Amino acid sequence: MHTTISARQTQPAIFVIFGGTGDLNKRKLAPAIYNLFLENSLPADFALIGTGRTRLTDGEFSKSLLEGVNTFSRRGKVEKKQWDQFCGHIHYQVADLLQESTYVELGQRIGQLQAEWEQEALVIFYLAVAPNFFPVIAKNIAQHQLAENADNARIVVEKPFGRDLESARDLNVLLGELFEEKQIYRIDHYLGKETVQNIMAFRFANLLFEPLWNRNFIDHVQISVTEQLGVGDRGGYYEEAGALRDMVQNHLLQLLCLIAMEAPTSFAADEVRNRKVDVLHAMRRFSAEDVRMNAVRGQYGPGWMEGKEVPGYREEDGVDPESNTETFVAINFFIDNWRWQGVPFYVRTGKRLHQKASTIAIQFKDVPHSIFPPEATETWQQNRLIISIQPEMSIRLQLQAKRPGLEMTLNTVDMVFDYKGTYSDEAPEAYETLLLDTLVGDQTLFMRADQVEAAWELVMPILHAWQAKKSLNFPNYSSDSWGPEVAEGLIARDGFHWFTLPVNRKG
């Protein structure tokens, strides 16, 4: 997590994007790199080399990125003068990832740029391709000595990092043989989100909450990442993944770690990552019976979203009409340590739900004794802290207060810290933060090998149980709903209900 602008990289830098013509580059990486350029966060000498199978000139490639930036950048359309300057840094290389010549040419291109700049550059190899290409690219980078100097070459690996524990381990072993751990950046874009980074600031830069942050005061925690979008054109990928692999193994467990971790001794990358992995180690490993009791799945059927008819998951392109893949997951996790024993952590995520919202709700225990008559407390609500990650960016503390009037009536009020009202600067996109971190060499917000494996260990029993037993009632929720009824049942059996923020629907 880059802290000051003085930590800014001045050494020349090259981003080599494998999958340069792909969606991720267009939507996220190129807009992020362009915004870093506009903010003067890149060195004067830098290059973006995109690779792809299509034959394109540098100019054609720049044009395709321009479309992406104009459509997806948080800053809207580019200004011609600035874009023209940026274009001078864009290069394209046609590449067959399986051919050695690709890496030879890449080496030559890097060599030419370095000769021009008269200085060795920092090279960031970004693997924005399908995961089956990770090993072949990594091997070739190493074999062609493109990452020889561990201080000057880094490799960014997109998710999914493996498709189960075994394949994640294999990939870690391979990368570990080819590179030093300090060169490997396993990305989880949730960690780059401004509001997610703020969880640590909120917890460890304020005295107030830490004494309450444990089983003595917290009743339960809910982590909810709901999406309105369906799988769209990613049906082929999603069929193989499902919500458990796509969201829970990475994003949701990372959010849970930030809420549940002990205070690290410093903000150093490994201190933070040690405390996060401790949480994963303390989480209860599920038996088959635990899975049955604590994990539920769902798949969306057709319906209407905001006045538009949308297909069910089984009707999406690239999806088996009898698919068993889950598009919704809810799990009750437990953390078996002194701080959290007995506190349920409910997580849920799903596509085609009623609202796009990522929220963490921490519900505190009830007061030990109420001094108020029952008629004063009809809308009684235990204190709640709600961290809203997106689209609303806020932290709100729900309190009981006296409603103005002659009678003693209590109701719930919110104390709100809202980014919009507090800061005029727009928050950077997650990928801007994370790409800058790769440049300055800060791995705090990236996954370490052991974290990835520990997270896989936790989801494996659920994956196994669901693979072994086909769900007989899919699709079991309609588009624009809050998911399957079993998800309500999971939390209702403990006397709770899923929390939703009354935000305007968006996204």
Query: ∠ at Cα 189 (210, 163), nearest 5°?
Result: 110
Residues near ligand BG6 (CB under 6 A), total? 3
Asked if residues 9 and 15 have their Cβ atoms less than 8 Å apart, the reply is no
Query: How far apart are CB 275 and ligand BG6 at their closest, in Å?
Result: 24
From 219, 227, 316, 429, residue interacting with ligand BG6 (rule: CB under 6 A): 227
Query: How far apart are CB 383 and ligand BG6 at their closest, in Å?
Result: 27
How far apart, in whole angstroms, are the C-alpha atoms of residue 77 and residue 213? 44
Dihedral of the CA atoms 227, 233, 234, 236 (nearest 10)? Answer: 140
Q: In which order are the strands placed within the sheet that holds 328-333?
A: 295-298, 328-333, 345-350, 218-226, 357-364, 384-390, 394-402, 410-418
Query: According to CB under 6 A, which residues from 155 to 184 bind ligand BG6?
Result: 159
Q: Of 89, 220, 251, 369, which is the active-site residue?
A: 251
**Residues paired with 475 in a beta bridge:** none
Closest alpha carbon to 214 in 148, 262, 162: 262
Cα 199 off chain centre by: 14
Beta strands in 264-379 (DSSP E): 295-298, 300-301, 303-305, 308-310, 328-333, 345-350, 357-364
Residue nearest to ligand BG6 (CB): 246
List the x/- string, 243-282, binding to ligand BG6 by CB under 6 A: ---x------------------------------------
Nearer to ligand BG6, 194 or 246 (CB): 246
How far apart, in whole angstroms, are the C-alpha atoms of residue 300 and residue 480? 9
Query: According to CB under 6 A, which residues from 103 to 162 bind ligand BG6?
Result: 159
Query: How far apart are CB 436 and ligand BG6 at their closest, in Å?
Result: 18
Query: How far apart are CB 159 and ligand BG6 at their closest, in Å?
Result: 6
Query: How far apart are CB 238 and ligand BG6 at their closest, in Å?
Result: 7
Query: According to CB under 6 A, which residues from 413 to 472 bind ligand BG6?
Result: none
**Residues paired with 15 in a beta bridge:** 48, 124
Q: Does 316 bind ligand BG6 (CB under 6 A)?
A: no
Asked if residues 127 and 134 have their Cβ atoms less than 8 Å apart, the reply is yes
Nearer to ligand BG6, 234 or 339 (CB): 234
Asked if residues 267 and 1 have their Cβ atoms less than 8 Å apart, the reply is yes
Nearer to ligand BG6, 154 or 159 (CB): 159
> Computed from CA positions of residues 279, 280, 284, 289, in that sequence, does the dihedral angle turn out positive or negative?
positive
Nearer to ligand BG6, 13 or 357 (CB): 357
Strand, helix or coil at 369? coil
Dihedral of the CA atoms 113, 70, 24, 92 (nearest 10)? Answer: -30
Q: In which order are the strands placed within the sheet that holds 13-18?
A: 90-94, 46-52, 13-18, 122-127, 153-157, 184-186
Nearer to ligand BG6, 391 or 441 (CB): 391
List the x/- string, 185-224, binding to ligand BG6 by CB under 6 A: ----------------------------------------
354 is catalytic: no
Query: How far apart are CB 227 and ligand BG6 at their closest, in Å?
Result: 6
Query: How far apart are CB 408 and ligand BG6 at their closest, in Å?
Result: 43
Nearer to ligand BG6, 238 or 346 (CB): 238
Nearer to ligand BG6, 77 or 506 (CB): 506
Q: Enumerate the active-site residues.
A: 251
Give me the residues that bind ligand BG6 (CB under 6 A), please: 159, 227, 246
